[in-house]
Amino acid sequence: MMQVQHQTADAQTPVDAGGPAQVESQALAGLYGLLGRCLEEEIDLGLLRLIRTELRAPLAEVGWQLDADFIERPEEELLAALAEEFTGLFVAPGCVSPYASVFETGCMFREPCDQAIAAYREAGWDYRRCMSGEFPDHVGTMLGFLAALADAELEAANRGDHGAAELARKRRNLFLLEQVGPWVPGWCRRAAENTLLAFYRQLLLFVEQFLWQELAAITDRRRLKELIALNRRKPKRLDYDADFRKASGL
């Protein structure tokens, strides 16, 4: 997870706090934050109840219809099924690895990880690992960073600092275009094909569609075609030497 390194600023009177730009930033912060949380960790009881109640109608409005099993299934039974699905999809050996480094290079903690860290630090955030085995280029963490940038944009706009708001927006668009766009939509499609539960299938397909909409809004058709081609790639697989494995005991 990331912890914000706050910089002090003089309090100012909010300017048009309910304007279209602020409303958009608030919505993006909430949506990116929710999607990132759902992909980064297992669903817990608090989040399950929140999605079933307060978030159910807003999610339906943006195109994510929750299935009857998720709404009606007993909580303990559903949480156990969701935890098993999460582990099989994103954690266990043979999973659809949620790390940019693995997708691009076949290994953990490579150049894409360094690039993500650099973006976090440039924006004033630092990465703090909550659990062992976490890395900064996890898809959930990257979506969470987009949420943080949308929130930073909102805060800056509300205090009347339009320069800081525009900088946060530019950072968000650049990160989306250069670090999320080239692989996450396609990764979502592949992960969705391996789901058993409707919840994760719907979640992944919604993230895919949502990201394409966001990307189409910030780039031209040529670059969008390039991104589509990049997302059709399969994750990188390393060629291991069988004799080396035999000699090393692997």
152-205 per-position pLDDT tens digit:
999 999 999 999 999 999 999 999 999 999 999 999 999 999 999 999 999 999
Residue 102 has pLDDT above 80, yes or no: yes
CB-based contacts of 64: which residues, under 8 Å, 6+ apart?
A: 202, 203, 206
Residue 132 has pLDDT above 70, yes or no: no
pLDDT tens per residue across span 58-89: 999 999 999 999 999 999 999 999 999 999 99
Give me the number of domains the chain comprises. Answer: 1
Kindly state whether residue 103 falls inside one of the protein's structural domains: yes
User: Structural domain of residue 28, as residue ranges?
Assistant: 15-238
Kindly state whether residue 43 falls inside one of the protein's structural domains: yes
Q: What does the alpha-carbon distance between residue 201 and residue 147 come to, in Å, rounded to a whole number?
A: 22
Kindly state whether residue 208 falls inside one of the protein's structural domains: yes
Kindly state whether residue 155 falls inside one of the protein's structural domains: yes
Q: What does the alpha-carbon distance between residue 168 and residue 76 come to, in Å, rounded to a whole number?
A: 40
Kindly state whether residue 234 falls inside one of the protein's structural domains: yes
Kindly state whether residue 33 falls inside one of the protein's structural domains: yes
- Global confidence as pTM: 0.87
Kindly state whether residue 243 falls inside one of the protein's structural domains: no
CATH of the domain at 75: 1.10.3480.10
Q: What does the alpha-carbon distance between residue 110 and residue 148 come to, in Å, rounded to a whole number?
A: 24
Q: What does the alpha-carbon distance between residue 217 and residue 171 come to, in Å, rounded to a whole number?
A: 15
Task: Assign 138 to helix, strand or coil.
Answer: strand
Kindly state whether residue 244 falls inside one of the protein's structural domains: no
Beta strands in 79-191 (DSSP E): 125-127
Q: Looking only at Cα atoms, what is the longest distance across the chain?
A: 69
